[in-house]
Chain A
């Protein structure tokens, strides 16, 4: 079965694929608020809701890249405001080390980001996403940490 031709058409104009992991208690609600406030953010952002930002295993980030993401952003409650008290403090350490490692193996800085967005920050959510998407446009397609089999 051939890959349908419509796909080929789309390929001509590159649009980034962006995965946003959002914590259920703050950032996902923030995204909700952005939506209900009619604030615009690019449709290229695909949100994955997680119970807490610290649920995001470093492997999730790599897997998103593997399957074709061009940028991965992780949003959680502001430090100190975690629904589970301390989850995002651990996230902060893990992601710092992971991002540093990605930089170390030569992946462009800026493809990954962590932002703290509360449930009340609909505006911030949309600004963050707009900024992140334009950063990814700037960096272009991710060719360094994707599985080629997913790109064919």
Chain B
């Protein structure tokens, strides 16, 4: 449970009841305690099923592309619950003019990190029948007995290197977290790969990417992948293969997808979170972010709305591509 949970739920109810908002984009209680679903609540009664707990990792900002357009004949604003990291994605979408800002009421919600059920299960906790959470400790009831696990030990990948507790955009904030800035070194994984030989790197990616089933979960969950027609869905592009019929296909898909979001990716970590095959896709995005920071100066996509991204910008004395061959490393 997040500390602010109860406050959030009652405030949402208030805002809907007093007509400030007519719709709420939030998370709906699931079948088990860990499977809440992004949902559009349209009545006060339906808010009974609204939840905000340690399993609300899904980033709701992308849903606002569709939901910030108010259908003709309807009025009122749409409330969206955004965690600190989600607000970066929201800002980036604003920059790209994909969200109608005036139709949205952002309720910023504090977050202490989200739990990943796969990691809970990886600790041998299976056959779950119920759970409760108190002070960051999850007590899980299973058919094989009760088990305890600390939320901080089973964090979603993206939360391990939290980008900070501060919201970069909101209309109202409910948070009890002190902003301690970013936690952990998010480029650690990238550095580890860079330290390998090129043969080792090749082997690493070959193993990881060979699992890819091209389900497009990474693309469809990604707030930066908001093209109306994706190049990978376009038959005329010659690359809309729908499957990795050859080992090249998967590399092409992931390199190009990461390239298309380079400079726009806010590192929200949804791609890695949703991958059914557990491919660490954030390592692609973070590589681009790291390179951009090194070559063109620190840049954080979505920090403020309206920024000019590094790939639609230049300076006259940018580094030459040759730097890739010249710099140190394997």
Binding site for B on A (CB under 8 A): 58-59, 62-63, 65-66, 79-80, 86, 89-90, 92-110, 112-114, 144-149
| 18 further A-B pairs in the complex, CB-CB below 8 A; given A93-B318, A101-B291 | A58-B259, A59-B256, A62-B252, A89-B315, A89-B316, A90-B314, A97-B292, A97-B295, A99-B321, A99-B324, A100-B291, A102-B255, A103-B198, A103-B329, A106-B198, A109-B198, A109-B324, A147-B248
Given A109-B324, A109-B325; A101-B248 close (CB under 8 Å):
no
Give min CB distance, A140 to chain B, whole Å: 14
Nearest-neighbor residue (CB-CB) of A116 within chain B: B320
Also in contact, A59 and B239, with CB within 8 A (given A98-B259, A146-B248): yes
Contact residues of A: prevailing secondary structure = helix
Instruction: Name the A residues within 8 Å of B312 (CB-CB).
Output: 90
- The answer to the question of B36 belonging to the interface, with a C-beta cut-off of 8 Å to chain A, is no
Looking across the interface, which residue of chain B has its beta carbon closest to that of A114?
A: B321
Please give, as numbers and ranges, the residues of chain B lying within 8 Å of A65 by CB-CB distance: 248
A96, A106, A147, A149: which contacts B323 (Cβ < 8 A)? A96
**What chain A residues lie within 8 Å of B318 (beta carbons)?**
89, 92-93, 96
CA distance A138 to B246 in the complex (A): 26
CB atoms of B287 and A101 under 8 A apart: yes
Chain B interface size band reads 35 or more
Interface residues of B in 277-330 (CB under 8 A from A): 284, 287-288, 291-292, 295-296, 310-316, 318-325, 329
Task: Flag if A106 contacts B203 (CB, 8 Å).
Answer: yes
Chain B contacts for A99, CB-based, 8 A = 321, 324-325
**What are some 23 contacts across the A-B interface (CB < 8 A)?**
A58-B255, A93-B296, A94-B311, A96-B321, A96-B323, A100-B287, A100-B291, A101-B287, A101-B288, A103-B329, A104-B193, A104-B194, A105-B205, A105-B255, A106-B198, A106-B200, A106-B202, A106-B203, A109-B198, A110-B325, A114-B320, A144-B202, A146-B248
